[in-house]
């Protein structure tokens, strides 16, 4: 079974990447331009496997097309570049809405009374094998989307976090020393962001990251790829931990000399 899967994936990766798909990457995925030629080739092969293996479903009347599949698959596979992986083994489906969508919620109001309502969301990552995304937010068309935020990177980072069976902001790491460094650096950065949030101080990292460690990991993943130079300059230890994990060095394309030498 494993051998057949490996052979099938190798065959998909070896197929010619459609020129129309490459045009979609150039138009919609700015990070694609930062990649080396070999990384682009790897990404393109991974995109072909991801699209073949995952089910894309349009919601609220949205019709799934190549632009939607290629764009979302690209963000998912950017997080896999240069790493050993199994193409999000728990993930089966990507549900795509045309815009932000309502989700039922229950809130407690004064008097400890539960009130049912709805809140609008741009994305979710489910432990039951699905990612939900707003297509307009993937394209970052709403003017309200803050600089540095990327809902697709955010939700697929949650999927990576969940692969070891826990949703705690610590993905599957190689060694105990790596876990120790991760806990020290990300724990300290999360505590600092939480304190700054309570004190209403300005921060580079979106304060949504102070919600819990899992959200912190997803948010800083966004900033690592979307605002790498700023993250390296203001949070160098955090940047280094993410560089070691993702095996990429996006800030190196913004400076003459790489901040960490190599990816």
Model pLDDT, residue 260: 47
Q: Is 224 within 8 Å of 242 (Cβ atoms)?
A: yes
Distance of CA 168 to the CA centre of its chain: 15
Predicted TM-score (pTM) of this structure: 0.92
Strand-pair partners of 96 = 58, 133
In the chain, what are the domain boundaries? 164-263
User: What is the end-to-end Cα distance of the chain in Å, rounded?
Assistant: 33
In the chain, where does DSSP find H-type helix? 2-14, 19-28, 37-53, 66-78, 135-138, 151-162, 176-198, 213-226, 228-234, 236-246
Residues 31-71: pLDDT tens digits? Answer: 999 999 999 999 999 999 999 999 999 999 999 999 999 99
Residues 183-236: pLDDT tens digits? Answer: 999 999 999 999 999 999 999 999 999 999 999 999 999 999 999 999 999 999
Cα-based angle 241, 243, 92 (whole degrees, multiple of 5): 100
Confidence band, pLDDT 50/70/90 cuts, at residue 263:
very low
Tokens standing for 31?
Answer: 């990070």
Q: Is 134 within 8 Å of 97 (Cβ atoms)?
A: yes
Q: Which of 98, 90, 12 is nearest to 50 (CA)?
A: 12
Q: Which of 172, 132, 163, 155 is nearest to 215 (CA)?
A: 155
Q: Which of 127, 215, 217, 123 is nearest to 163 (CA)?
A: 127
Tokens 């995952």 belong to residue: 54
Confidence band, pLDDT 50/70/90 cuts, at residue 144:
confident
- The CATH number of domain 164-263 is 1.10.287.610: no
Read off the pLDDT of each residue in 25-34 and give the average, rounded to a whole number: 96
Read off the pLDDT of each residue in 158-178 and give the average, rounded to a whole number: 93
Model pLDDT, residue 259: 52
Q: Quick one: the chain helix, strand, coil %, rounded to 5?
A: 50, 15, 35
Residues 106-133: pLDDT tens digits? Answer: 777 777 777 777 899 999 999 999 999 9
Distances, alpha carbon 72 to alpha carbons 33, 68, 110, 114, 127, in Å = 16, 6, 41, 36, 19
Res 2 pLDDT > 90: no
Tokens standing for 191?
Answer: 């505590």
Model pLDDT, residue 235: 98
Model pLDDT, residue 146: 81
Model pLDDT, residue 1: 65
């Amino acid at each position: 079974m494993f051998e057949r899967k490996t052979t099938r994936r190798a065959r998909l990766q070896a197929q010619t990447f459609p020129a129309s798909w490459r045009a979609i990457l150039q138009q919609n995925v700015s990070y694609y331009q930062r990649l080396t030629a070999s990384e682009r080739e790897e990404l393109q092969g991974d995109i072909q496997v991801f699209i073949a293996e995952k089910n894309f479903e349009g919601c609220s009347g949205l019709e799934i097309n190549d632009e939607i599949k290629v764009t979302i698959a690209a963000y998912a596979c950017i997080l896999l570049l240069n790493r050993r992986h199994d193409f999000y083994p728990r993930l089966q489906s990507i549900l795509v809405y045309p815009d932000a969508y309502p989700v039922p919620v229950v809130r407690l109001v004064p008097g400890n009374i539960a009130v049912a309502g709805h809140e609008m969301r741009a994305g979710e990552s489910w432990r039951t094998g699905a990612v939900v995304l707003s297509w307009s937010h993937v394209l970052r068309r709403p003017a309200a989307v803050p600089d540095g935020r990327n809902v697709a990177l955010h939700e697929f980072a949650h999927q990576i976090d969940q692969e070891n069976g826990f949703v705690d902001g610590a993905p599957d790491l190689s060694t105990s020393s790596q876990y120790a460094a991760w806990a020290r650096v990300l724990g300290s950065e999360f505590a600092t962001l939480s304190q700054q949030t309570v004190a209403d101080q300005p921060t580079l990292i979106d304060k949504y990251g102070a919600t819990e460690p899992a959200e912190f990991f997803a948010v800083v993943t966004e900033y690592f790829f979307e605002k790498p130079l700023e993250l390296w300059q203001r949070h160098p230890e955090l940047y280094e931990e993410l560089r070691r994990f993702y095996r990429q060095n996006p800030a190196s394309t913004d400076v003459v000399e790489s901040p960490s030498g190599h990816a």
